[in-house]
Amino acid sequence: MCDNAEQIVETYASKAFNDAAMRKYLPGETYKQLKKTIDLGRSLDPSLADIVANGMKRWALDMGATHYTHWFQPMNGFTAEKHESFISPVSEGGIIMRFSGKELVRGESDASSFPSGGLRATFEARGYTAWDCTSPAFVKDHTLYIPTCFCSFTGEILDKKTPLLRSMETLSAQSVRVLRLMGNTEARRVVAMAGAEQEYFLIDRELFNRRRDLVLCGRTLFGAKPSKGQELDDHYYGNIKESVMDFMREVDNELWALGVPAKTEHNEAAPSQHELAPVYDTVNIACDQNQLIMETLKKVAQRKGLVCLLNEKPFAGVNGSGKHNNWSLNIDGGKSLLDQGKTPADNAQFLLFLSAVIWAVDEYADLLRATIAGPGNDHRLGGNEAPPAIVSIFLGDLLTDILTQIETDGRSDLRQGGSIEIGVTTIPTLPKDISDRNRTSPLAFTGNKFEFRMLGASMSIADCNTALNVIVAEILSRIADRLEKAGDVNAEVQNIIRDIMRDHKRVIFNGNNYSAQWREEAARRGLPCANSSVEAAAALIAPKNIEVFERFGVLSRKELEARYEIRHEGYGKTINIEALTMLEMAKREILPAVVKYIGFVADSLNNVRETGLAVDVSAQSGLLKDLSAVAGQFRTATGKLEKAMHKVPQGTAAEKAFYYRDHVVPAMEALRELGDRLEVMVGENFWPMPTYAELLFGIKS
C-alpha cells in the first residue's frame, strides 16, 4: 500500500512497460524506432520484434513474472487470456527463460469458442492474436500481459480493439485533411481521446451469496422497494464509509501501479453506489484501462468481503449504473479541436469540428444507439437516472445561439463564458464555462469534449468510440470535399456551418430529456427512438451504416452482420438465464416460504379459535385470505412464465430475441410484481433472501 506521495510517485506505472521501462530495457536505436511507431502510427519494423521481446522479457522477469499472455477483447465485451510460461527445456533436463519476437507479435487461440456470429465454426477453430504496441504491456499476478488484437484464420475481425484502432486512423486522416485545408501545416495526426467514468455498486459478499439472482445474473429479479432509498439525496457526494474508502485506496494503488491514472472517486446517487474516473487518454488506451478498472474493482471487492456489481440495473426502482464516455479530438495528443480559441481562425476551426459532430450524430443516431444496446441497459435507459433511448445533443444556450446566428445571418461572434461572483469576500471570482451541464442529455458538450452518457456500466467503451470515430470521419471527409472545391475557404467554412445548422439542428436539445414532452417533441422532429436493444441492433446492418464502415475499411458487411447476430444471441441467452433463475427462485424459495408463512398464520388463527375466547381474529383471517390470494396469483404467473419459456422458437437469433422481448420479459415482469407484493406481506423471519434494505445498507462503516 502507498502511504505517502513519494511512494505513489515511485510506484506509479511500475508494473507497466511504459516509456521509462522501454528506455531502460531497450537499446537506444530500438527505443527510438518503437517510439516513432507508437507516436506517429507507423508500421512496426519486423526486425525490431526480437529485440523488443528480449527487453520486455527481462523487464517482466525483474518484475517477478513467470508467464506471459496475449490479452485480447473478444466480442462478448470481456477480456480473454491464455497463459504461457517463459520456460523452454534444454538438454540435460534444464530450462532457460525464452521469449521470442514471434511470440510477442503473434499468438494463437481457439476462435470458435468465443462469440463469432457465424464467422467461425467449431471445426474452423484457429484464431490469431497480434500485438498492439500502442498500448503498454503490464505485469499482473506474475504474468506479462500483452495487449493484442484478435482475428480469425481467414482474417475476419473477432474483437473490439481492431475496429477501434482502424477507426482512430480513419478519423486522424480526415481530421488532418480538414486542418490542412484550413491552413494548419504542422499537425501530423489527430488523436481521439476518451475518459470513462465507471459507476458500480458494492454489497456485502455474504448477502450476495444468499441471492441466487445476483450470483447467476448480476442483478436482482425480485425485490420490493425499501422504505428508504435515495429520496433524501444524502448519498450522492456524501461522506464515504471507512470500509469503502479502504476498498477505494486499494483499487487506486493497484491501478496506479499498472499505469492507470485513477483520478476521481465519490459516492453516487443510490445507496452503496460509487464512481471511479481516470484521466483522459487515447481511446485505445482508455478502453484497455477501463477493462482493467472493471477487473480490479471486482478482484479487490472479493478480497474485502464485498462484491462489485457492474450490471446496469441491479436494483429495480433504484438508480442504475452507467459509464459516461468523455470523447474529444486532440491535435497530436495535445490541443483539443473542441476547445474554443482566442483567435478568429481558432474559433472557426472549433465551430467547424463542433458542427461536424452535430451532423454526424444526427445522421447516424441509430448507429450510436445500437452501440450501447443490451438487456441490462434496457432497464436503465429512460428512467429518471439515465438518458432516454432518443439520441440528442446538448450544447447550451450560448453555443446554440452562436450557431443559430451563423445559420440566419452569417455572424459568428464567439463569446467567452464570463465569470461568477460568489458573494463571499474570501472566495475569488470563478471563471464561467461556455455551457452549463445537462445531466439528462445522451450526448452533452461539456466545454472541450462530448460526454456520451448512454453507455451501460458493464459495457466495453470500444463500440461507441469506434462508431463516433467513424461517423465523424465520414462527415469530415464530406467537409474536406467541399473545402477542396472552394475558392474562399473561410467563406466556405461559414457556409458549411450554416448548412449543418439548417439541416441537422433538430438533434440539438437543451431541455429536460426525462420529460414526456421531449418524447413528443422528438417524434415531431423525426428523431429515431429504439425502445429496446432488440430493435436497436438493426442499425448495425442498415445499408448506410454498412457503407460507411466498409468505405473506411473498419468493418466489412460480413463482420457487421456477425455483430448483429451476436447482439441477438447475447440478448436471448441473457433473458433465458434470467427467466430460468426466476423460475427456480419462485418454485424453490419464494413459494415454499409463503406456504410456510401461510401455515404459521393459519396455526395462529386456529390456536386462538380453540381457546373459545371472544377474540377478534379479523387480522389473522384477513391476512390469511390476502396471502392465499396473492400466492395463488403468483403460482399462476409462474406457470405462465414456464409456458412462455417452452414456446421459444427454434429460429434465428433475431427471431428468438424478439420472442424473448415480447413474451418472456412481460411474463417475468408480471411474476416479479406479485413476488414483490408477497415480500412485504410475509414475515421477515420467513422471507428466504436478503431484502433491498439489507443489500443497499448492509456495508458497515
- CATH code, domain with 473: 3.30.590.10
Rounded Cα–Cα distance for residues 609 and 600 (Å): 14
The DSSP bridge partners found for residue 386 are 384
Domain assignment of residue 565, yes or no: no
| Same domain as 383, residue 304 | yes
At 424, the pLDDT band (50, 70, 90 cuts) reads very low
Domain assignment of residue 322, yes or no: yes
| Same domain as 124, residue 205 | no
- Determine the average pLDDT of the residues in 238-265: 96
Domain assignment of residue 560, yes or no: no
CATH of the domain at 642: 1.20.120.1560
- Determine the average pLDDT of the residues in 98-114: 86
- Determine the average pLDDT of the residues in 465-471: 98
| 441 close to 392: Cβ distance less than 8 angstroms | yes
Angle at 66 between CA 61 and CA 72, to 5 degrees: 100
Query: Does 482 score more than 90 pLDDT?
Result: yes
Residue 421's pLDDT is: 44
- Determine the average pLDDT of the residues in 124-137: 88
Phi, psi dihedral angles at 393 (to 5 degrees): -120, 135
pTM given for the model: 0.93
| Same domain as 277, residue 217 | yes
User: Over the stretch 616-648, which tens digit does the pLDDT of each residue have?
Assistant: 888 889 999 999 999 999 999 999 999 999 999
Query: Does 18 score more than 80 pLDDT?
Result: yes
User: Count of CB atoms within 10 A of residue 40's CB?
Assistant: 10
Residue 462's pLDDT is: 97
Residue 430's pLDDT is: 40
At 121, the pLDDT band (50, 70, 90 cuts) reads low
User: Can you tell me whether residue 288 is helix, strand or coil?
Assistant: helix
Rounded Cα–Cα distance for residues 436 and 396 (Å): 6
Q: Can you give the residue range of the structural domain that contains 152? A: 5-159
| Same domain as 107, residue 70 | yes
- Determine the average pLDDT of the residues in 549-558: 97
User: Over the stretch 439-450, which tens digit does the pLDDT of each residue have?
Assistant: 789 999 988 899
At 588, the pLDDT band (50, 70, 90 cuts) reads very high
| Same domain as 417, residue 401 | yes
| Same domain as 634, residue 507 | no
| Same domain as 619, residue 523 | no
Domain assignment of residue 561, yes or no: no
Query: Does 365 score more than 90 pLDDT?
Result: yes
Domain end: 109, 129, 159, which one?
Answer: 159
Residue 615's pLDDT is: 74
- Determine the average pLDDT of the residues in 551-566: 96
Domain assignment of residue 637, yes or no: yes
Helix 543-551 vs helix 557-585: crossing angle, to nearest 10: 120
- Tell which residue, 493, 218, 522, 161, has the closest CA to residue 374: 218
Domain assignment of residue 652, yes or no: yes
Q: Which residues of 394-426 are buried (b: 16+ CB within 10 A; e: fewer)?
A: bbbebbbebbebbbeeeebebeeeeeeeeeeee
All 3 cell numbers of residue 430?
470563478
User: Count of CB atoms within 10 A of residue 526's CB?
Assistant: 7
- Of 174-178, 314-318, 473-477, 606-610, least confident by mean pLDDT is 606-610
Residue 1's pLDDT is: 47
Phi, psi dihedral angles at 221 (to 5 degrees): -100, -20
At 427, the pLDDT band (50, 70, 90 cuts) reads very low
| Same domain as 517, residue 603 | no
- Tell which residue, 632, 601, 595, 593, has the closest CA to residue 618: 601
Average pLDDT value over all residues in the chain: 91
Query: Does 417 score more than 60 pLDDT?
Result: no
Domain assignment of residue 564, yes or no: no
| Same domain as 408, residue 274 | yes
Residue 344's pLDDT is: 77
User: Following DSSP, what letter does each residue of 418-456 receive, concatenated?
Assistant: -EE--S-TTSPPEEPPSS---TT-SEEE-SSSEEE---B
User: Following DSSP, what letter does each residue of 267-280 receive, concatenated?
Assistant: E-SSTTEEEEEE--
**Distance from first CA to last CA of the chain, Å, rounded?**
21
List of residues 6+ apart from 378 with CB closer than 8 A? 532, 533
| Same domain as 173, residue 150 | no
| 195 close to 110: Cβ distance less than 8 angstroms | no
Rounded Cα–Cα distance for residues 104 and 493 (Å): 47
Domain end: 133, 159, 185, which one?
Answer: 159
- Determine the average pLDDT of the residues in 247-252: 97
Q: Give the count of domains, the chain.
A: 3
Residue 333's pLDDT is: 66
Query: Does 272 score more than 80 pLDDT?
Result: yes
- Of 33-37, 241-245, 353-357, least confident by mean pLDDT is 33-37
Rounded Cα–Cα distance for residues 47 and 505 (Å): 52
Domain assignment of residue 670, yes or no: yes
| Same domain as 432, residue 308 | yes
At 429, the pLDDT band (50, 70, 90 cuts) reads very low
CATH of the domain at 119: 3.10.20.70
Residue 675's pLDDT is: 98
Domain end: 521, 555, 589, which one?
Answer: 555
- Tell which residue, 133, 153, 129, has the closest CA to residue 71: 129
| Same domain as 181, residue 34 | no
Residue 345's pLDDT is: 75
